[in-house]
Amino acid sequence: RPVLLSVICHPPQNYPLYIRSVPTENELKFHYTVHTSLDVVDEKISAMGKALVDQRELYLGLLYPTEDYKVYGYVTNSKVKFVMVVDSSNTALRDNEIRSMFRKLHNSYTDIMCNPFYNPGDRIHSRAFDNMVNSMMMQVC
Amino acid sequence: MADEALFLLLHNEMVAELYRAAEQGEGENGRCTTKLESMGFRVGQGLIERFTKDTARFKDELDIMKFICKDFWTSVFKKQIDNLRTNHQGIYVLQDNKFRLLTQMSAGKQYLEHAPKYLAFTCGLIRGGLSNLGIKSIVTAEVSSMPACK
């Protein structure tokens, strides 16, 4: 069951800082999915400007009828977007679990930002981050 | 935050060291301020990431500035900004009447001209934090009477 996570930089570049998927074939298709979902994310953020109470987004971003994937998004205060693509057949995955996965991602991302050897905007090459992502995805699949 | 005295001493030494290096011909005055400011910038980026991890989303610029004045300043300097003014067109003046990094210096006119050196790092801190929140800014500081600063 393919699960893809990616961390995407804040505007105006919006290029991915980190992409991981399990299994690793079809990764290119996921890149496309993630890219289009970014537009949906931006839409949601601007729409939120009016009705604003809630903190982070957690939503069913896109659902491709043919492919059956669910896309979840999460945006931090520093405009960093996390996108997760899950196979629809994976109905065991509940909202809470997705939320906690995003929290973990956010926590690890914060740790990376505070790493003095990391330049903001670079691709993420941290082993700790990889380990966290791996263990998270093992739980899901 | 850990004991403030530690950071105060480290910061003062940082400033002194940079200027000492400058005198030995490695750079001139303006560059030291820039170096200090860029240090503050990077630190500000990391700090703001940590501080905004659990806060609600900011509504607008004013909300962000209020966050900087209250929570951010409290976490870093253990007190809030005393006064925030704005012309609602993008200019904000933050006034701190007892700026922590300046309190240890004598309150007279003696060191007034050296004070800006000690503000450069903090300016960078603010600029870094704002930039990570999506706001491009220019931060300047002035000291009219120790230990207050704007």
For residue A114, the chain B residues in CB contact (below 8 A) are 46-47, 49-50
**What is the residue extent of each domain of chain A?**
2-139
Q: What is the pLDDT of residue A66?
A: 46
Q: Please give the Cα distance from B111 to B113 (Å, whole number).
A: 6
Find out whether B147 and B102 touch, Cβ atoms under 8 Å: yes
What average pLDDT does the segment A31-55 reach?
A: 64
Q: Are strands A3-8 and A81-87 parallel, antiparallel or unpaired?
A: antiparallel
Question: In CATH, what class is A2-139?
Answer: alpha beta
| Closest-approach residue (CA) in chain A for B56 | A55
Q: Which domains does chain B have, with CATH numbers?
A: 4-133 (3.30.1380.20)
> Which residue pairs, CB below 8 angstroms and at least 24 apart, start in B7-15?
B8/B100, B8/B101, B8/B104, B11/B101, B11/B118, B11/B121, B12/B101, B12/B104, B12/B118, B14/B39, B14/B121, B15/B117, B15/B118, B15/B120, B15/B121
pLDDT tens for A55-71 read: 455 444 444 444 666 77
Cβ of B55 and A77 within 8 Å? Answer: yes
pLDDT tens for A99-126 read: 788 888 888 888 888 888 887 777 778 8
In the numeric block, the tokens 């093992």 are attached to: A138
Cβ-based contacts under 8 A for chains A and B: 48
